[in-house]
Structure 1
């Protein structure tokens, strides 16, 4: 874990790289958690997290499916690269956050009650239509189910 001030400087100065997990149950519903931290605090959001410095992609993916969903060795489908721009950040200071996100779809058959409550206060299954139409679901999670919604800002911003 980086010191708080060091991490603030990084988030303020450079994009972060993360993996989002689009977890479906056998009925095709999508798992979302209610975020407890910034950015996107209070919104329903897909599980996922940052790739750490000196962590290869495979290790990051395996760590995140274990930490976020309690899974080991799952089959996944790459859904694309997304850019997430937020007006706020994890701290109280006034600067934005920029993520480059690698999105992967997986199947999740686990129990929602066993999921961790560090990043999300609760979990819920959403039908795609319900997810896309809900104002409580963050737009970045909606993008995985909408055509041509991979960035909310031009590449040369």
Structure 2
């Protein structure tokens, strides 16, 4: 059974351990990449790919299906995507403030999907856009960790 931790317990975990997460590198049929403007720390205000953390006792398959449902509004299977590799993300802040850092070990998954921007969930991202890779790499407001998915692959 998967579970979310209460705020205080989660703060302790984030302060002392890396988190495991899945990032969804979503491309449409034109090769543009889906980005959302983050509402929450870390990376608040930056354009970032959708994704999220794996919960305790959650299989990778279940995490992927849950995250695609929560972040893209459509439930997909892990077999619908291609693993592009492990990445590490380091942030000077955390979900609750600036008093400790956040470290993610991220598995990046690439998939092709055409979604309407106005139908995407608004819980984690205020706005969405499709960007060409060249524009994404040149934009100051696209987060460095998102750019790494295209610099290294």
- TM above 0.5, one fold? yes
- TM-score, normalised by the number of residues in structure 2: 0.94
Which residue of structure 1 lines up, in the alignment, with residue 111 of structure 2? 106
* Cα RMSD, aligned residues only: 1.1
Alignment partner of 1:14 out of 12, 17, 36: 17
**Any stretches of 5+ residues in structure 1 without a counterpart?**
149-157
Are residues 1:35 and 2:38 paired?
A: yes
1:93 offset after TM fit, Å? 4.5
1:83 and 1:39 mapped to 2: Cα distance? 14
**Any stretches of 5+ residues in structure 2 without a counterpart?**
none
1:92 offset after TM fit, Å? 2.0
Which residue of structure 1 lines up, in the alignment, with residue 64 of structure 2? 61
Alignment partner of 2:144 out of 134, 139, 150: 139
Runs of 4+ in 1 over 6 A off after TM superposition: none
Q: Is the 8 A contact 2:92 2:98 kept in 1?
A: no
Are residues 1:72 and 2:80 paired?
A: no
- TM-score, normalised by the number of residues in structure 1: 0.91
- Length, aligned pairs only: 148
